[in-house]
Amino acid sequence: MDNILCKIYDTLFARYGNLRWWPAQSPYEVIVGAVLTQNTNWGNVEKAIGNFNGDITPTRVLSLGQDELKAIIRPAGFFNQKAGYLKAITEWYAMYDFDATRVMALTLNDARNQLLAVKGIGNETADSILLYAFGFPTFVIDKYTQRFCSRFILDAGDNYMSCKNYFEKNLPKDAALFNNYHALLVINAKNHCASKPKCAGCPLEMQCKKATHPIR
DSSP string computed for 9-54: HHHHHHHH--------SSHHHHHHHHHHTTTS-HHHHHHHHHTTTT
- Could you tell me if residue 214 is inside a domain? no
pTM (2 d.p.): 0.92
- Could you tell me if residue 215 is inside a domain? no
Give residue-wise pLDDT tens across range 16-58.
Answer: 999 988 888 899 999 999 999 999 999 999 999 999 999 999 9
My answer on whether 200 and 129 are in the same domain is no
My answer on whether 93 and 34 are in the same domain is yes
Give residue-wise pLDDT tens across range 51-62.
Answer: 999 999 999 999
Domain count, the chain: 2
- Could you tell me if residue 103 is inside a domain? yes
Domain residue limits at 9: 3-20+140-207
